[in-house]
Structure 1
Amino acid sequence: MKDKICLITGANSGIGKVTARELAKKGAHIIMLCRNEQKAENAREDILRVCGHDKVDIVLADLSSTKQIKEAAAKIRSEYPRIDVLINNAGMIMGNDRETTEDGFEWTFGVNHLAPFLLTHLLIDKVLASKKGNIITVSSEAHRFANFDLNDLQMQRKYNGLKAYANSKLCNILFTHELAKRLKGTQTVSNTLHPGAIASNFGKGVSGFFGFVMKLSRPFMISEEKGAETTIYLASSEEGYTANGLYFKNKKPASPTKVATNDYNARRLWEVSEELLQVKFSPVKHKAAEG
């Protein structure tokens, strides 16, 4: 990992921070993409104390804002020659009141799916510029509880916070599945993973029945260090650079649901995401233009 440039979203806390710290200790140049400046600075100081170098940078952006994502991507594009590893780690879960972002997207779908889709689109040429590019998107076993409806991706008809989260994690796997297909013929791979049920601050602000279940379950959850292991494995192991389009669990390929690997679902989700974000995400065209 020495001198590899690794961009990690949500790197100021939880498994994102652990991932950033451990990859930095392996010699990677870390870019922390975070929303909260003070938390990011505190996390950076913690990482610098143990990593043995000073290549730990912060880029600020609220992933619920496409404007801020675009500004952050422009800054990264101007300041870094390439991105060797892009880790779409940031994620969130809402309660049972449907809320929308400043762009009008249902919050969970917007932050957990559309944000990594847009960020990856905006930075794909920088990843393709790496000798061996690696795109890792953190999903969850929660995708097994999804109710995938291409006609109601933003749950306008019947909203449920837990279901919205499960749907967004399914979208992560479908995005990875389609991205991997479109990256064939390049030196870049795309994989996704389940980190485990982690005893972190994730979900602490959720009220109602699900919040109650989260609170009861916390003593039985795994540590953030354990939860980050599969992400770190994919970013630093040989398999992480040869596997493509797979779903990992406990550092091994696992089988997601059939819905999660359905070619039609993956292609249509990609197309709808392009329409919502008003972009055209064509990785191979980026590579052709570069060549």
Structure 2
Amino acid sequence: MKKVVLVTGANSGIGLALCERLLSDDTEGLQLCLACRNVQRTEDARSALLASHPEAQVDLLQVDTSSISSVLRAARDVKLRYDRLDCLYLNAGIMPNPEFDIKAFFKGLFSSKVITMFATAEGILTQRDAVTADGLQEVFATNLFGHFLLVRELEPVLCHPGRTSQLVWTSSSNAHRSAFKLDDIQHKKGNQPYSSSKYATDLLSLALNNHYNKQGLYSSVTCPGFVMTKLAYGILPSFPAFLWTMLLPLFWLIRIFTNTFTLSPYNGSEALFWLFKQKPESLDPYAKYQSLTSGLGNNYTQPRKMDIKLEVSKLFYKKLLQLESDVRKELTDKEKQSHHGGPAGCES
């Protein structure tokens, strides 16, 4: 029986590299679905995959995880197409308006924390967030809440008696507990929404295991390491491309001292691909599975304990359920309002 695999954010970077690896290793048959926001880029990605794998089954799904209505439409589409999902990769993510602290960077460059700084961007990277049409913080909605809602909507195809299914999240080494607050889960008051959303991802994965394992659904978290993708290039948007190229020898040198510098999307997808080959029930729910690359360029996966607690994850899960209830009610009210032509005194 062919496995059905859906990957969000699959049209570039780590997501696309993962899809290429899944199809290259496809010995038992695989039905792959690329779930992305930009239709044209997704079609281009599909064409590229089919060029190297002409017999592959590659479907497309439009979904914008920052939009509640888009997620709900996409979930309905998935349930009409497939009677089950074997693996759901929750990979889509954004880091908008990154601001690089040059002063902190050079200070860290000549300190004992230089490797940690390069590996995690701790202390040198902030972002300016935005608000979505649904009134949610954009980074929180895109990186976490949209995916949470997608999982909730896809329960009928993810949870089946007698078999296991798998959720695999793309987190980050930038997931710092200090950036996350339970009383501000959307990170409205801070300047590290990306870090907050990734730490929230780690918490949510644990909560999902607590909630769904008895139904045969298991959740795991990965970290791709430091990868040269559009997300990384966006950190210094005015930085000329040739300077990034000139920095590569430095990055390769740093890789001798830290195995987290995976650099390429292929290397960064190592843990994502490795998890697909494992039995989900055998994995550690408290571990973040790291994509690592040795100084000689050899790829491997290693689990590292996450800085999370079950009680905090349960409280976070309750807050997400309440937020889900609120946004669904608001969406229903808007639909009713639209159906009835809007409230008195307003144009419909």
Tell me the TM-score normalized by structure 2.
0.72
Following superposition, the deviation at residue 204 of structure 1 comes to: 3.5
Structure with higher RCO (Cα < 8 A, 6+ apart): 1
- The answer to whether the 8 Å contact 1:189/1:244 transfers is no
- Aligned partners of 1:227 and 1:50: how far apart in 2? 21
Which residue among 267, 272, 275 is the counterpart of 1:231?
Answer: 272
Partner secondary structure for residue 320 of structure 2: helix
Aligned match of 2:283: 243
Report the CA distance between 1:4 and its aligned residue: 0.5
* Paired positions, count: 269
Distance 1:268 1:190 in 2: 18
Query: Are 2:160 and 1:120 aligned?
Result: no
Percent identity over paired residues: 25
| Structure 1 counterpart of 2:304 | 254
1:4 corresponds in structure 2 to 3
Measured in 1, the distance between the counterparts of 2:216 and 2:182 equals: 31
Q: For structure 1, which segment, 37-46 or 244-253, has the greater mean C-alpha deviation from structure 2 after superposition?
A: 244-253
Cα 1:43–1:187, aligned 2, differ >3 Å: closer, same or farther? same
Aligned equivalent of 2:19: 20
Structure 1 203/21 Cα, relative in aligned 2: closer, same or farther at 3 Å? Answer: same
Which residue matches 2:42?
40
Alpha-carbon distance in structure 2 between the residues aligned to 1:111 and 1:21: 24
8 Å contact from structure 1 (residues 144, 256) kept in 2: no
Runs of 4+ in structure 1 off by over 3 angstroms are 203-208, 214-218
- Alignment CA distance shift 1:51-1:3 (3 Å): farther
User: Residue 39 of structure 1 aligns to which amino acid in structure 2?
Assistant: R
Out of 233, 236, 244, the position equivalent to 1:204 is 233
Q: Aligned partners of 1:145 and 1:275: how far apart in 2?
A: 22
Distance 1:109 1:248 in 2: 22
**Aligned residue identity for 2:184:** D
Q: Which runs of 5+ in 2 are unaligned?
A: 98-126, 252-260, 292-300, 328-348
Displacement, 1:207?
5.7
- Name the CA distance, whole Å, in 1 between partners of 2:174 and 2:9: 19
Identify which range, 47-56 or 134-143, moves more after superposition. 47-56
Residues 107 and 94 (structure 1), Cα distance of their counterparts in 2 relative to 1, 3 Å cut: same
77-86 or 176-185, which deviates more: 176-185
Residue 132 (structure 2) pairs with residue 101 (structure 1): yes
CA RMSD of aligned residues (A): 2.4
**Please, which of 141, 145, 158 is the counterpart of residue 110 of structure 1?**
141
1:16-165 matched pairs, under 5 angstroms: 16-25=15-24, 26=26, 27-95=29-97, 96-129=127-160, 131-144=163-176, 146-157=178-189, 159-160=190-191, 163-165=192-194
CA drift at 1:113: 1.0
Cα offset for 1:154?
A: 2.3
TM-score (norm 1): 0.85
* Distance in 2 separating the partners of 1:175 and 1:14: 24
Q: What's the CA shift for 1:24? A: 2.2
Structure 1 distance, partners of 2:305, 2:235, is 29
Q: CA deviation at 1:62?
A: 1.2
- 1:37 CA drift (Å): 0.7
Q: How does 1:204-223 map to 2 (within 5 A)?
A: 204-206=233-235, 219=248, 220=251, 221=261, 222-223=263-264
Unpaired segments ≥5 residues, structure 1: 281-291
Q: Secondary structure, in 3 states, of the residue corresponding to 2:311?
A: helix
Determine which structure has more spread, i.e. the larger CA radius of gyration. 2
Counterpart-to-counterpart distance in 2, 1:150 and 1:174: 11
Correspondence for 1:190: 219
